[in-house]
Structure 1
Amino acid sequence: MAMNEAKLLSSEAMVVHLAFLPSAGLGHLNPCLRTAELFLRHGCRVTLITPKPTVSTAESNLIALFCSAFPSHQLTQLDLNLSPLDPTQVNTTDPFWLQFEAIRRSVHLLPPILSSLSPPLSAFIHDVTLISPLLPVTGTLCFPTYICFTSSARMLAFFAHLSVLAARSPGAKPCSFIGDAVEIPGIAPIARSSVPPLLLEPDSLFERIFMEDSPNLTKLSGIFINSFEELEEDALAALNDGRVVPGLPPVVALGPSVPCKFEKASSSKNCSGSIMKWLDEQSAESVVYVCFGNKTETRKEQIKGIANGLIECGYKFLWVVKLKKVDKEEEEELEGVLGNELMRKVEEKGIVVKTWVDQMEIVGHPAVGGFVTHGGWNSLVEAVWHGVPILSWPHNGDQKICSEVVQMCGVGIWAEEWGWGSLETVVNGEEIAKAIKEMMSNVSLRIKAKEMKDAARKAAGIGGSCEVKIKRQIEEWTVEEGS
């Protein structure tokens, strides 16, 4: 009996046990859960620490689905009950950025949670927005720490190189030391106009977090990112050979990361069923899918321009409309924004939905021939996975830098002259229709998208780069535990 118990304890001790701490918004939660799922599929044990309360019901639902998809001996979920945050003390009204800050101010509650886990942790993997406040915590507990980076390798290169630029201008703000273009060794220059607007806004919460966290990237054990060599070969090489920042830890490309089985249940069954039935009735590659993400609200003054552009482009379309920032359930009727006549024309040409949809299922449908997107990295990778040409219309944040990636590798176009969709001039329907026609009729774009799809499938397949890197990382943790 004693011998069996000893074997059991020895076996448990060799299990790779990982803790994951995500942050706010599906754009941050999804990559974290998908990364955790990769390690779970390879036999690791995972503890998911979820900040409570969440910002949106969509986040809560996704966490519940994720936790129900794995047995309790392999996955444990623990709550991190956030300390109250006075919004008047923070320079933002954005609910997601308020949550980022609330989590950053609550990480002092983590040590008793992390130190009590059994078996002991092999590594701690957390969201990119939590680097600086977590370093003292993880340093005390002495286990390897990684971040889950939620954007492209090109964006990571910019984020990392920001510390180099700041060191050349001590005390200066990014709005003053970032010039007309950011020159980063090994990658194409990034224009000032592509830099996240909030980074150029002095004393914004975004600026403060970026400036605090960029120089601390070198103190991490590694960085996991949803990308792959064929998509971002130059940026990944520059990051890993020390050209972007000397001393940067390994950047491990685990992409393409795409929605897992547990995510499919998060879509609205009724809505999804009717959408898929409609798509089944359309010709191959004849439908334009339009969606600006789960967080991006479309300005009411821009809604009519989009509607007119979709009508004028001549293609059938599926348009997911979002009129408010948090959650998908809209209170205002679209007809109230468009008017009866324009709404009638829209419904004659396509389908408009305001509820949650299974985007991966839609983008992967044979009828979908193009994707008009805000340029969120998760959405771009999903389009690449299915070989669907992209028209990117960045609205904020990292979306211009990510749009540059798909433009440079030839799988998408980016209407640069439209500026930031959430901040700048209203784009009229004629311009939108012209850009959609270009996306849908560009043969070279479609060929390149199919080639990148094949590369993505190979990277994520059996024996592909993702599997090789996952196994190598697990082996590294196992060796460290055994030494």
Structure 2
Amino acid sequence: MKKAELVFIPTPGISHLVSTVEVAKQLVDRDERLSIIFLIMKLRSDPKVDRFIDSVSTACNRIQFIHLPKLEPDPNQPSNSFIYLIESQRPSVKEEVSRLVSRSESIPGSPTLAGFVLDMFCTSMIDVANEFGAPSYIFLTSSAASLGLQFYVQALHDEHKVDPTEFKGSDTELVMPCLANPLPAKLLPSSMLSKEGLPILIIPARRFRETKGIMVNTFEELESHAINSFSNGNTPPVYPVGPMLNLNRDGDRDVESDKFKGIRQWLDDQPPSSVVYLCFGSRGSFGVDQVQEIACGLEQSGNRFLWSLRQPPPKGKNEPPSDYANPRDVLPEGFLDRTANNGKVIGWAPQVDILGHPSVGGFVSHCGWNSILESVWFGVPIATWPLFAEQQFNAFQIVVEMGLGVEIKMDYRKEFNSDGNDDIVGAGEIERGVRCLMELDNEKRERLKEMSGKSRKALESGGTSSTWLGRFIQDVVDRQP
């Protein structure tokens, strides 16, 4: 039996790592010839990442993790040069892969290097793969449509000499193969609308074209239009293998904590589908003025709510938000007392467990792709409030393309490290959005329920994603020399 080893290189941080590890687990479960080595980069110490890795290492002996030297920002490079930091790890990656190859050559029966599986921000590692004569693949942690968007904007820029940053503030509508509806240009990702950010998406898209294939964390039934748009042969093969979700909460000790038991107990006491859950992802937080508007909107809506309220990092610090020592400091006076019977304000949120609880009937979300997949899996409709990255585009997909949610705001943008002086969404707009969400018509709820069933079936034996995963294994392992 010919054994094969894949080298996975994810982007630093937990949000991309979780779904990437899930696809690795699926691969080794499906084929006993496969083993996987993760090369882990870190920008800072992250206990969450460490716990997660420890739990996966314990559970699966054919997935190993190797920690690369810590990334140190170069004072001569721009502070936001994330791509540069990753590129600076090429020598370390080369060194580790050389060790693997040497071991393979010297120990009979060792697996041979079958290829590199790279995150979208790690495409510079294609050069390392080429040095070893190994094929490169991408695992995309976002949607198939967002992959199509990257290819579209890259071709627009490189072949048609159109500068996408000129769309900033314009009313242009873009017709692209990956979408059934025209996209208002104001919903393009922030980085595509800025001179500094554009290379972060254009350069990877160019390099995607050099790879042997792209696995995407989506499933055929959810994004059939986008997936069909890749069938013209102008891109590498696309394998929709999702949804890749960490439903077992690997490494998440907080799930067992008293804090979560209190949340679960509160949810247990609420009627079915009556609670709106608000959470803005691992990087989402707001200034005091916006927090007060959210509180007023929730109170005016009269709905039961569970609100994950996070404190922004200190100004100029590139850190994730933290929990407030005392939320009363930022909430309207008396808010917690007035809403004590129908609302609960929390810090960190065990999202999968909350979305899976029968009392939750709606989700006000930043529209990160993982959150969208989780909400579809559990059949919970979304009210869109995007913040960063491609989240405005994701919001458009949810509301316009898929018809599975409602809009609070689709073109809202928040800058990293802002001092809270972003545009303010008013209480009235929030109240309207929450009411629309919780009074969603039966047709949309039924469509969502059906899609929830399809997301589960996709991963079962014979399901679409399971079949695509099998095809990927065949293309990688069976085509080895």
Would the TM-score normalized by the shorter structure come out above 0.5?
A: yes
- Select 2:297's aligned residue among 309, 313, 324: 309
- Corresponding residue for residue 241 of structure 2: 254
* Aligned-partner SS, 2:12: coil
d(CA) in 1 for partners of 2:75, 2:449: 47
1:121 aligns to 2:108 (yes or no): no
* Equivalent residue pairs, number: 454
Structure 2 unaligned regions, length at least 5: 105-110, 314-318, 416-420
Q: Is the 8 A contact 1:146 1:222 kept in 2?
A: yes
Query: 1:458 is matched with which residue?
Result: 457
TM-fit CA distance, 1:260: 4.0
- The aligned runs of 1:396-475 (5 Å cut-off) are 396-407=388-399, 408-416=401-409, 419-420=412-413, 424-442=422-440, 443-475=442-474
8 Å contact from structure 1 (residues 53, 82) kept in 2: yes
Compute the RMSD of aligned alpha carbons. Answer: 2.2
Contact 1:34/1:260 (<8 A) preserved: no
1:102/1:287 CA distance change after superposition, 3 Å: same
- Out of 377, 400, 409, which is 1:385 matched to? 377
Aligned to 1:7: none
How much identity, in percent, do the aligned residues show? Answer: 27
In structure 2, C-alpha distance between the alignment counterparts of 1:430 and 1:330, rounded to whole Å: 26
AA partner of residue 99 (structure 2) = S
Partner of 2:202: 211
Contact 1:123 1:145 in 2 (8 A): yes
Paired with 1:392 and 1:322, the residues of 2 have a C-alpha distance of 18
User: Cα offset for 1:272?
Assistant: 1.7
What residue identity is the alignment partner of 1:265?
D
Q: C-alpha separation between the residues in 2 aligned to 1:293 and 1:87?
A: 30
Seen in structure 2, the aligned counterparts of structure 1 residues 264 and 23 have a Cα distance that, compared at 3 Å, is same
Alignment match, 2:274: 286
Kept after mapping to 2: 8 A contact 1:65/1:266: no
Measure, in 2, the Cα distance between the counterparts of 1:162 and 1:418: 19
Aligned match for 2:131, one of 108, 117, 140: 140
Q: What amino acid maps onto 2:116 in structure 1?
A: F
1:190 equivalent in structure 2: 183
Output the CA distance in 2 between the equivalents of 1:350 and 1:251: 44
CA gap 1:411/1:267 in 2 versus in 1, 3 angstroms:
farther
Relative to structure 1, the CA distance from residue 83 to residue 409 in structure 2 (aligned partners, 3 Å threshold; closer, same or farther) is closer
Q: Aligned partners of 1:143 and 1:260: how far apart in 2?
A: 32
Q: Retained in 2: the 8 A contact 1:165–1:177?
A: no
1:209 CA displacement = 2.0
**CA shift for structure 1 position 342:** 2.3
Structure number with the higher helix fraction is 1
The one-letter code of the counterpart of 1:396 is F
Of 28-37 and 183-192, the range deviating more from structure 2:
183-192
Task: Indicate the residue corresponding to 1:105 in structure 2.
Answer: 88
CA drift of 1:230 comes to 1.3
One-letter amino acid matched to 1:261: N
With structure 2 as the length reference, what TM-score do the two structures score? 0.88
Q: Does the 8 Å contact 1:151/1:402 carry over to 2?
A: no
Q: What is aligned with 1:18?
A: 6
CA distance in 1, matches of 2:383, 2:301: 13
3-state SS in 1 of match to 2:447: helix
1:87 CA drift (Å):
4.8
Runs of 4+ in 1 over 4 A off after TM superposition: 421-424
Unpaired segments ≥5 residues, structure 1: 1-10
Q: Could you say which residue in structure 2 is the equivalent of 1:57?
A: 47
Cα gap change, 1:264 to 1:112, in 2 (>3 Å): closer
